[in-house]
Chains A and B, each alone.
Chain A
Amino acid sequence: MAPIVEFRNAGYAINGRMLVEDVCFQVESGETIVLLGRSGSGKTTTLRLINRLLEPTSGGVLVEGKETMDWDPIRLRRRIGYVIQEIGLFPHFTVARNVALVPSLESWPEEKVEMRVNDVLGLVGLEPAQFAARFPRELSGGQRQRVGVARALAADPSILLLDEPFGALDPITRSEIQKEFRALQKRLGKTMVFVTHDVREAFILGDRIGLMKDGRLLALVPAADFQKLDHPEAKAFAESYA
């Protein structure tokens, strides 16, 4: 089966400075890849190349076998769920309207949207009756992040991109939500690319872990093999886990 996402020597430069260089990897359908790296290693840039928030300045990125540059960016983005650390919920929308964003943009019929909102809120552990009518400011940080995940899942995308989604949560909430998310992953069978600097999170959630440094992908190995890597950067991360 063809890979669902493929990087072919992809690079991204801004004002002559390379943020990401010569990245090659493939993501198989249904697997979760964690891109692990320090701040500024290029992992967020790599993620943003997938849904064409950024356009590669060299090489190419393929989604479902087609170059992102050949996709209509709006169509492409509506097929890919996206969760960021700052969440970015619309403060003037209720939880229900936030979650319904993409289905509404896609003009789903109203009842279908409502059912879907209730379903995904349930998936992320939020009781629809209790939360649907609330505004983001009336939620805790963890609840907001669950809404962010629900919004990304609402249109049932086959790919989910997550950029340190749990980074801003307190350690206990983070640990809870990671476990729930792991369970959700198994249930939904979505393809996911997950960016983090937390090696513990990488081990919990990743089928494979890609190590990034200075805009380059140093290695992409099954999670179980990560600690065997010989690279000093890998060792630094492995040590921080121990």
Chain B
Amino acid sequence: MSVLDFMWTRRSEVLLLTLEHLEIVGIAILIAIAIGLPLGILMTRSPRMSRPILAFANIVQTVPSLALFGFLIPLPFIGGIGTRTAIVALVLYSLLPIIRNTFTGISGVDPAIREAGRAMGMTDSQLLWKVEIPLALGVIFAGIRVATVIAVGVATIAAAVGAGGLGMFIFRGVSMVDSRLILAGAIPAAALALIADFGLGAIQKRFSKLLCLLCLVSVAATLSACSRTDRIVVGSKNFTEQVILGELLAQQIEGTTNLRVDRKLNLGGTLICHQALVAGQIDTYVEYTGTALTAVLKEPPSNDSARVYDTVRGAYKNQFGIEWTEPLGFNNTFAIIVRKADAQALKLKTISDAAPQTAHWTAGFGYEFIEREDGYAGLAKTYGLRFPSPPRVMDLGITYKAAAEKQVDFIAGNSTDGLIDGLGLVVLEDDKHYFPPYDAVPLVRDAVVAKHPEVRQALKDLAGKISEDQMRRLNYAVDGEHKDVKEVVREFLKGN
């Protein structure tokens, strides 16, 4: 199936995400104009202000977008998970070209014209509105065009904080190793950028009327977005299993209660989901006991599954007001994965078998595995791994492909990953029991349970419903067979 066929079969989703993308960018650009234009004008009126203003805009521009989203999430009012954070970040990115072009455009007006205006008895504001801004409009507009094109690009990253938009396809595609999904996000985004650039160029002449129209459309879109009330927000991390589990929670709640559900899937790593849940930006997501113990609570890993569950359950209740419901039934522990061909040739069954080989291998890990207490450092110590060069760090979804294509030889995945078989990879046994248990459990905020007890019941009904084998098959249906997540989950729930 070609990319275009694929996009055609998903056309309603493509359209929806494109509109979401446009909405985020449109609102952000309008706000950036509302802030940047006066700042640029202020700079022409008070040269002393120009240095700090430009310095601020320049610094913001150099912060990597993902880092900027990271900074914004914990902030009150402007931060958090979702569209608002994305808009704040996009506004910050869009400011520099708008401020700078407003300043250069107005400063570039022929001094003789300004002198003549003053000498004819124009007041400063008459000079500004009748002469300087009209003459600088072309340059100012060019700045707005640049800002819009940048914003269309940066907005794809906004999906990482749950703002939706075309980045959803891209992130999902990366985590599922599906280039069609990546392109289904990237192609419309590129097209949007081009259309925005040409379109803005074309309306430059009829600037005011169309800007008003754009304002109205954006305002209407914002209002309709705000009118959503009382919904359960389901989150997930950014890999296939989490997206499936998020969809599972969503469909379970939709199917067994009268509540409506907002999906904020593909939110990035554990900490983003955790912060979002604590902040009430999302209401529920599936967490793994071992992850919560080490990555969130910063306690030493333990091998006792029941004790870990009790520990995290108690700690979350007290510290965060979050409830651990019943385990779903499978343990998604870390799995050390190598190519099946290597395992057969070298007769490798366990990680201990593989340890001597590491001297001439390259390892590739996701960001989390490098950082975590129960991640790479402890693993290397326990098994005496000696890679000649430091592990290559990349997105989790990419490590599989990198291993299959012999870019790296030794990766850390998840035991339930459906891609393992499909890509000719094999899991090595954790013979020294280094990895703690990672039982999957839906979390829900106490505040939500108090208001909607039926949500807890809906989640409890999923207890023990998914074995490791089933989870791997669900993952493979999405990763390997490229089936639609919603469809896969719907069939699974029907079968139960």
A5 surroundings in chain B (CB, below 8 A): none
Contacts of A88 in B (CB 8 A): 110, 112-117
Bits for B121-136, please: 1 = Cβ < 8 Å to A, else 0: 1110010001100110
Q: Are B131 and A90 in contact (CB under 8 A)?
A: yes
Q: For residues 58 through 93 of chain A, which have their beta carbon under 8 Å from a beta carbon of chain B?
A: 73-78, 82, 84, 86-92
Of the four ranges (under 10, 10 to 19, 20 to 34, 35 or more), the interface on chain B belongs to: 10 to 19
Is B120 in the interface zone, CB < 8 Å from A?
Answer: yes
Q: Binding site of B, secondary structure by majority: helix, strand, loop or mixed?
A: helix
Partner of B120, one of A75, A77, A86, A87: A77
Q: Does B45 contact A (CB under 8 A)?
A: no
Q: Are A74 and B121 in contact (CB under 8 A)?
A: yes
* Complex contacts, A77 vs chain B, CB 8 Å: 118-121
With a cutoff of 8 Å between Cβ atoms, the chain A residues found around residue B122 in the complex are 74, 101, 105
Minimum CB distance partner of A152 in chain B: B120
Given contact pairs A88-B110, A105-B126, A78 touches B115 in the complex (Cβ within 8 A): no
Taking CB atoms, residues of chain A closer than 8 Å to B134 are 92
Residues of A within 8 A of B123 (CB): 74
> Are the CB atoms of A53 and B112 closer together than 8 Å?
no
A102 on the B face (CB < 8 A) = yes
Instruction: Judge if A151 is at the interface, Cβ distance under 8 Å.
Output: yes
B120: A residues at CB distance < 8 A: 77-78, 82, 101-102, 105, 151
B88-120 vs A, CB cutoff 8 Å, 1 = contact: the mask equals 000000000000000000000010111111111
A51 part of interface (Cβ distance < 8 Å)? yes
Q: Is the CB of B116 within 8 A of A82?
A: yes
> What is the number of residues of chain A that contact chain B, defined by CB distance less than 8 Å?
22
A75 and B121 contact, CB distance less than 8 A: yes
Task: Tell me which residues across on chain B come within 8 A of A53, comparing CB atoms.
Answer: 115, 118-119
Q: Which residues of B contact A73 (CB under 8 A)?
A: 121
Which of B114, B119, B131, B135 is within 8 Å of A82, CB to CB? B119
Q: How far is the CA of A44 from the CA of B41 in the complex (A)?
A: 29
Within A202-219, which residues are at the interface with B (CB < 8 Å)? none
For A104, give the chain B residue with the smallest CB separation: B130
CB distance from A104 to the nearest CB of B (A): 9
Alpha-carbon separation in the docked complex, A92 to B133 (Å)? 11
| Given known A78-B121, A102-B120, contact A90–B126 (CB-CB < 8 A) | no
Chain B neighbourhood of A89, CB < 8 A = 113, 116
Tell me, rounded to whole Å, the shortest Cβ–Cβ distance linking B137 to chain A. Answer: 9
- Residues on B with C-beta less than 8 A from A82 are 116, 119-120
What residues of chain A lie closer than 8 Å to B131, measured between beta carbons?
90
| Bound CA span A77–B119, Å | 6
Choose among B121, B130, B131 the residue with the greatest number of A CB atoms under 10 Å from its CB. Answer: B121
Bound complex: CA of A87 vs CA of B117, how far in Å?
A: 11
Q: How far is the CA of A87 from the CA of B114 in the complex (A)?
A: 11
Q: Give the one of B112, B113, B119 with max A CB within 10 A.
A: B119
Judging by beta carbons under 8 Å apart, are A84 and B121 in contact?
no
Q: Which residues of A contact B116 (CB under 8 A)?
A: 82, 84, 86-90
Contact indicator B113/A51 (Cβ below 8 Å): no
B115: A residues at CB distance < 8 A: 53, 84, 86, 88
CA distance A125 to B76 in the complex (A): 68
- Closest A residue to B131 using CB positions: A90
Q: Mark A4-46, 1 if CB is under 8 A from B, else 0.
A: 0000000000000000000000000000000000000000000
A102 vs B121: C-alpha distance in the bound complex, in angstroms? 7
Given contacts A74-B121, A82-B120, contact A92 B135 (CB under 8 A): yes
Q: Which residues of A contact B117 (CB under 8 A)?
A: 88, 90
Within 8 A of B (CB), among A86-134: 86-92, 101-102, 105
Q: Which residues does chain A contribute within 8 Å of B121, judged by CB atoms?
A: 73-78, 102, 105
CB B123 to nearest CB in A, in angstroms, measures: 6
A92 to B109, CA, bound (A): 12
Q: Which residue of chain B is the closest to A106 with respect to CB atoms?
A: B121
Measured CB to CB, the closest approach of chain B to A78, in angstroms, equals 4
The residue on B at minimum CB distance from A161 is: B119
Closest Cβ of chain B to A74, distance in Å, is 5
| Complex Cα–Cα for A51 and B119 (A) | 7
CB distance from B124 to the nearest CB of A (A): 10
A148 to chain B, nearest CB (A): 8
Q: Measured between alpha carbons, how far is A87 from B119 in the docked complex, in Å?
A: 11
**Which residues of A lie under 8 Å from residue B114 when comparing CB positions?**
88
A87 to B111, CA, bound (A): 11
A91 and B112 contact, Cβ closer than 8 Å, known pairs A75-B121, A78-B121, A105-B121: no
Some 20 contacts from A to B, beta carbons below 8 A apart, are A51-B119, A53-B115, A74-B122, A77-B120, A78-B120, A78-B121, A82-B119, A82-B120, A87-B116, A88-B112, A88-B113, A89-B113, A90-B116, A90-B117, A90-B131, A91-B113, A92-B134, A92-B135, A105-B122, A161-B119
Interface residues of A (CB under 8 A from B): 51, 53, 73-78, 82, 84, 86-92, 101-102, 105, 151, 161
* Interchain residue pairs A-B with the least CB separation, the first 5: A88-B116, A86-B112, A77-B121, A78-B121, A82-B119
Residues of B within 8 A of A (CB): 110, 112-123, 126, 130-131, 134-135
- 15 more A-B contacts (CB under 8 A) besides A88-B117, A90-B117, A101-B122? A51-B119, A53-B118, A74-B121, A75-B121, A82-B116, A84-B115, A84-B116, A86-B110, A86-B115, A87-B116, A89-B113, A89-B116, A92-B135, A105-B120, A151-B120
